Amino acid sequence: GVRASLLGALQKPGAREVLLAQTLWVFAYAALPAFFVLYAQHELELGLGAAGALPLAFGLLIGAGMIAGGRIKREQVHPALLAGTALLGTGLLLASLTTNVGVVAMLLAPAAIGAGLLTALGFPYFARFVPAGEAGGYSGVFFAARGVASAVALPLAGVTVELTGTYRSVFLLGAAALVALVPLIGAESRRAGAPATRP
């Protein structure tokens, strides 16, 4: 069952690190869609039409990142995940420091592309740690972790905005993506040190 798969994934070297990394990087940007228009109106002083275009552009760039991720060669998957994580976290954190529309756009663009790379490559990389015959259960655990991260990020972002009085604080959750670099690096070291049982 899912519970057994969860326990297995948490006990499996490499798989647990990827699960943690994914939870952190999804947490970093999951709340953005709910706050983008309010952020654009109140912090960037954009009209409703322009404010609505911001999440659209972010989503399109995530799609572009996913397409780019689909063209990554197998040996480049882990470096691309590291790059995507760094782009996401750095872009979001730096965007929290300014209300200049042009600068914000330049920072959010690479952040969105990074999110797209992570979305495209996260599961293929996780699959490298899945034991034979456990693909279904481990897949459920992987995507359940995404749901949990999204569910936690939204109310926490709301509390952060309430406490700080600024919608820019939603971008501070991007720090979680930078923290995700640690388990992501650890996962690859686990894989490199394991017997070559999977291609």
Which of 27-36, 95-104, 114-123, 189-198 shows the lowest per-residue confidence on average (mean pLDDT)? 189-198
What single-letter DSSP state applies at residue 31?
T
First-to-last alpha carbon distance for the chain, in angstroms, is 26
Q: Reply yes or no on whether the pLDDT at 198 is more than 50.
A: no
* Average pLDDT estimate for 84-97: 96
pLDDT band of residue 127 (cuts 50, 70, 90) is confident
* Average pLDDT estimate for 47-73: 93
Q: What is the percent of the chain with per-residue pLDDT over 70, rounded to a whole number?
A: 88
In the chain, DSSP finds a helix count (H) and a strand count (E) of: 8, 0
Q: For position 1, what pLDDT does the model report?
A: 52
Q: For position 137, what pLDDT does the model report?
A: 75
Q: What is the percent of the chain with per-residue pLDDT over 90, rounded to a whole number?
A: 68
Whether pTM exceeds 0.75: yes
Q: How many residues does the chain have?
A: 199
Q: Reply yes or no on whether the pLDDT at 61 is more than 80.
A: yes
Q: Reply yes or no on whether the pLDDT at 189 is more than 60.
A: yes
| 52: Cα within 13 Å, side-chain hemisphere | 3
Burial class, 196, CB count within 10 angstroms (exposed 0-12 / middle 13-18 / buried 19+): exposed
